[in-house]
Amino acid sequence: MSTAASPRHDRARRRRSPAARRPWRVAVCLALAGPLLTGCLTSQGGTPAALGRSLEDGTSALSSAELGLRQYLAARTLRSAVDTLVSDSLDQATKASAEIATASPDTPGEAADQARALDLMDDAVRALAATRAYLEGSFDPALLGDGLGPTGEPGPALADLLAEQATKLAAQAAEWSP
């Protein structure tokens, strides 16, 4: 029996061939280059761009919660599904707020931008927390003050508040986007 014809010999030769090692080299290079490329992309634009990206995350959270709440109010979905959606949105907005708080402004102007972004995100987090309380049955209508609207119902007023907050965040995010 010849060794050239054996399957074991063919496999060993393929493992040592440059063509067999090439996919592994490419995979290793991509795995090492990925974090470097991602790091470069996320720091693009400095502090204002980072604040804008965090506000975009907050906008997304508010818009999702608003859509879910409106679907619930129209009896098109279950409260438990919307409660989960709003809780996830609250987590996302809280994370975005923490990213803003940990930003490192280089100038007094960037520090003022950071303070503005934190104020906007605080309002967004409060609106999401109020929405979650409404869905859990522990909402205090006094939180909205005179903002209950013509129906006097907190649900539609909260949906409008979420939309309003999302619009504010989106406008500011657009201003700071690179």
Residue type at position 60: S
Tokens of 63: 């818009």
Among the listed residues 116, 144, 127, 3, the one whose alpha carbon sits nearest the alpha carbon of residue 66: 127
CA distances for 13 relative to 4, 23, 106, angstroms: 10, 16, 57
| pLDDT of 5 strictly over 70 | no
| Alpha-helical regions (H) of the chain | 7-16, 18-42, 46-73, 79-101, 108-136, 154-176
pLDDT tens, position by position, 83-112: 999 999 999 999 999 999 999 899 999 999
Cα separation, 145 vs 140, whole angstroms: 10
- pTM higher than the cut 0.85: no
Cα separation, 121 vs 56, whole angstroms: 11
pLDDT tens, position by position, 54-79: 999 999 999 999 999 999 999 999 99
Which pLDDT band holds residue 162 (cuts at 50, 70, 90)? Answer: very high
